[in-house]
């Protein structure tokens, strides 16, 4: 199933980028930089193209992980370049050399517009690029305007709160794995809690959005989340990135399956191969046996929340002990006790109980920063 159209139970959604009546008065006559990618759409038009047609002075485009066109591998270095359509320079935040634009580039604009489609996970890096730019804008006295978009995993909050000992490029804030917030809400909370530097921030909210309602993305947010189903399974299956198990990168169904050449008694199989967005996938060219989750109902996935049963299933099947995990696992899950408890034979419910109180505390902590019901 390809990603669907926008909906909100019969009410028409208007994402922040559509609400020009709110943000155009803030940027008229000023120099603008745009943190954007392929998801920054208003209907079929890109935000940057709309701004140019309106005569807005766009000094530069900032691109996050996967690049401005959204086709680079996870973590792949992306060079700065020029947008072929508009001639506007693209300043990559994933070139492997810098976490923010040069001082010269920072001085070339007055307002930063942020318009990215996030998926609501602590280890999904678009919010980290936004926070780095918020800090840079604070240092240079720039205004930040976030054009908000719904969170497709915004229906619940789940998973351990990040132990900041494991802060990394895939985890920047002490929040749960599934935080249930939009980028605009994260920006408000990061500044309010002192996790980011104070800046002149405006969030243009989504009209008619309720976090309890399902939201289907109009375009894939990144190369290996091609379907709405994969977006919903992503919170649970991404944890395999910190193990020896494949989660389907290099297939037609990434983040909807998992497997390994040595898994036993499994009839389903797949073979990862190089492809766009997965140039060198884990277990490339090896026949993997495992589990196909493509038939699992969306409602069931949402009701289960962050589901450790898949991870525990593969761990017990392979019977490799410590060798099952890589050091990256703690960066993803954010705490040290999950690996230990799995190795001690605990089940998913026992482990989930350990983060329950932290999740409830976080829900109270985030309340002042929420923009939606």
Paired with 82 in beta bridges are 89
Specify whether 48 is located in the same domain as 171.
yes
Mean of all residue pLDDT scores within the chain: 92
Specify whether 323 is located in the same domain as 279.
yes
Distance CA 38, CA 46 (A): 8
Which of 91-105, 108-122, 295-309 comes out lowest in average pLDDT? 91-105
Distance CA 68, CA 236 (A): 27
26 token code pair: 């803030």
**How many structural domains comprise the chain?**
2
Helix spans in the chain (H): 20-27, 47-53, 103-106, 126-140, 183-192, 228-237, 298-304, 309-318, 328-333, 337-343, 348-366
Q: Is the pLDDT of residue 68 over 80?
A: no
Specify whether 168 is located in the same domain as 128.
yes
Distance CA 327, CA 93 (A): 25
Q: How confident is the model at residue 96 (pLDDT cuts 50, 70, 90)?
A: low
Question: What is residue 3's three-state secondary structure?
Answer: coil
Distance CA 16, CA 40 (A): 10
* Among 189, 217, 245, residue at a domain's last position: 217
- The stretch 107-136 carries a mean pLDDT of 96
Q: Is residue 126 part of a domain?
A: yes
- The stretch 185-212 carries a mean pLDDT of 97
* Among 170, 186, 217, residue at a domain's last position: 217
Paired with 145 in beta bridges are 113, 202
For residues 272 and 240, is the Cβ–Cβ distance under 8 A? no
Q: Is residue 68 part of a domain?
A: yes
Specify whether 213 is located in the same domain as 312.
no
Specify whether 262 is located in the same domain as 352.
yes
Q: How confident is the model at residue 5 (pLDDT cuts 50, 70, 90)?
A: very low
- The stretch 44-69 carries a mean pLDDT of 88
Q: Is the pLDDT of residue 38 over 80?
A: yes
Strands 111-115 and 143-147, sheet pairing: parallel
Q: Is residue 370 part of a domain?
A: no
Specify whether 212 is located in the same domain as 247.
no
Specify whether 126 is located in the same domain as 233.
no
Give pLDDT tens digits for 220-270. Answer: 999 899 999 999 999 999 999 999 999 999 999 999 999 999 999 999 999
> In CATH, what number is assigned to the domain containing residue 197?
3.40.50.12170
Specify whether 150 is located in the same domain as 204.
yes
Percentage of the residues of the chain whose pLDDT score is greater than 70? 92
Specify whether 192 is located in the same domain as 50.
yes
Specify whether 70 is located in the same domain as 200.
yes
pLDDT of residue 8: 41
Distance CA 289, CA 265 (A): 8
Distance CA 55, CA 194 (A): 36
Specify whether 273 is located in the same domain as 321.
yes
Domain that holds residue 326: 228-360
DSSP state of 166: G
Paired with 289 in beta bridges are 260, 269
- Give me the DSSP letters along 330-372: HHHH-SSHHHHHHHTT--HHHHHHHHHHHHHHHHHHHGGG---
pLDDT higher at 95 or 275? 275
Contacts of 212 (CB under 8 A, 6+ apart): 155, 373
Specify whether 20 is located in the same domain as 92.
yes
Neighbours of 53 (CB within 10 A): 10
Distance CA 56, CA 28 (A): 7
């Amino acid at each position: 199933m390809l990603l669907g159209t926008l909906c909100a139970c019969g009410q028409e959604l208007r994402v922040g980028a559509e609400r020009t009546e709110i943000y155009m008065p803030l940027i008229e006559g000023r120099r603008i930089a745009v943190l954007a990618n392929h998801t920054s759409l208003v209907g079929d038009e890109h935000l940057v193209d709309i701004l140019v047609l309106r005569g807005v002075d766009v000094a530069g485009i900032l691109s996050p992980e996967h690049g401005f066109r959204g086709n680079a591998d996870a973590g792949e270095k992306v060079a700065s370049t020029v947008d072929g359509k508009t001639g506007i320079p693209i300043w990559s935040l994933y070139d492997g050399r810098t976490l923010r634009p040069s001082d010269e580039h920072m001085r070339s604009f007055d307002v930063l517009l942020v318009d990215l489609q996030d998926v609501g996970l602590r280890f999904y890096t678009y919010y980290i690029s936004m926070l780095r730019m918020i800090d840079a804008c604070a240092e240079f006295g720039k205004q930040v305007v976030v054009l908000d978009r719904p969170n497709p995993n915004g229906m619940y909050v789940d998973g351990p709160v990040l132990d900041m000992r494991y802060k990394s490029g895939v985890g920047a804030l002490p929040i749960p794995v599934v935080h249930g917030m939009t980028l605009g809400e994260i920006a408000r909370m990061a500044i309010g809690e002192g996790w980011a530097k104070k800046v002149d921030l405006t969030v243009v909210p989504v009209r008619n959005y309720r976090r309890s309602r399902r939201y289907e993305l109009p375009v894939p947010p990144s190369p290996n989340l091609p379907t709405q189903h994969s977006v919903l399974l992503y919170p649970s299956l991404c944890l395999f990135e910190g193990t020896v198990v494949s989660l389907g990168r290099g297939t037609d169904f990434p983040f909807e399956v998992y497997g390994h050449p040595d898994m036993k008694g499994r009839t389903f199989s797949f073979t990862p191969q190089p492809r766009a967005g997965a140039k060198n996938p884990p277990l490339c060219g090896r026949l993997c046996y495992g589990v196909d989750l493509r038939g699992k109902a969306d409602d069931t996935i949402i009701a289960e929340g962050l589901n450790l049963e898949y991870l525990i299933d593969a761990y017990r099947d392979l019977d490799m002990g410590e060798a099952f995990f890589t050091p990256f696992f703690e960066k993803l899950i954010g705490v040290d006790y999950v690996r230990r408890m799995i190795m001690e034979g605990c089940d998913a419910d026992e482990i989930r109980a350990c983060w329950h109180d932290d999740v409830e505390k976080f829900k109270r902590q985030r309340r002042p920063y929420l923009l939606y019901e």
